[in-house]
Amino acid sequence: MLIKRPADIAPSEITQPELYFGRRRFLRDSAGAVLVATMPGLAWAPPTLAAAKLAATKNPDYVVDDDPTPKKYVTTYNNFYEFGTGKDDPVENAKDFNPKPWSVVVSGECEKPGRYHFEDIIKPSELEERIYRFRCVEAWSMVVPWIGVPLATVLKRFNPTAKAKYVAFETLYDPKRMPGQRRPVLNWPYVEGLRIDEAMHPLTLLTVGLYGEELPNQNGAPIRLIVPWKYGFKSIKSIVRIKFTEKQPPTTWNDSAPQEYGFYSNVNPQVDHPRWSQRKERKVGGGFFSPKVPTLKFNGYAEQVAALYTGMDLVKFY
């Protein structure tokens, strides 16, 4: 039997979320299938777990024209290989994951390294809700109301030095609790990185919630990154380490397939993935036959972030 690595799978081979809800889960849940078959008009819905509410100030400077994607898609159609490579593996395999208590180790080129508890990093008074576009490298997109604190606000607490040119991040490595890590589909633990000016940009959000609630496990609980002008895999989940570095840090997908996934990974319709076009995308939740729409450069945030890359060859630095 041929087993494909995630990097070998093209978007055309990835089932759209509407098909997941209409076919795979419906059939897998035999009890639900029988019930719906015998009770006309009864709609099947994915199971949900109660999440704690978060109080956050809505930031009017960060909104988009499109309506938010229905929550059921955002919380059940995920890329989180630590819990499996299937789109619905995370919601199934992360049910028993306990993200509390949580701490983050800060190190490298800063004056205040150490281990910080979640409560030391995230201040409730600083939480705000921002509605961002979210674009996956597989050419699907969402609009999500995220809750978090500007990453710059948090990083400044550690007093990075003049040598801090980059910021590296690391996901929890715990194969007992994250079953996807038991398979060598990637080099674990998952690592990502940003240039310091990208990390300090006002758009970059250290995120702890969505839709007015704490982050679900499958979405990267309890703390993840959102960098809205970059492809989704840059927005690393379940962060346990932050390191300020002088040199560009390694990143997981760039290490796994450097010819396909660059360090910058900015959303750019003019730079195709080697095996598919990035010129168009399909909005998740739009229905079985929703048409693809043109992809916006920097995911629609060009006015805010284009200056970060002045003079750079964005084909070379993809």
Q: How confident is the model at residue 37 (pLDDT cuts 50, 70, 90)?
A: very low
* Position 17 confidence tier, pLDDT thresholds 50, 70, 90: low
Q: What is the pLDDT of residues 269-298, one digit of tens each?
A: 999 999 999 999 999 988 777 899 999 999
The domain ranges of the chain are 11-309
Do strands 280-283 and 140-150 pair parallel, antiparallel, or not at all (unpaired)?
parallel
Fold exhibited by the domain 11-309 = Sulfite Oxidase; Chain A, domain 2 (3.90.420)
Predicted TM-score of the model (pTM)? 0.88
Burial of 256 (0-12, 13-18, 19+ CB in 10 A): middle
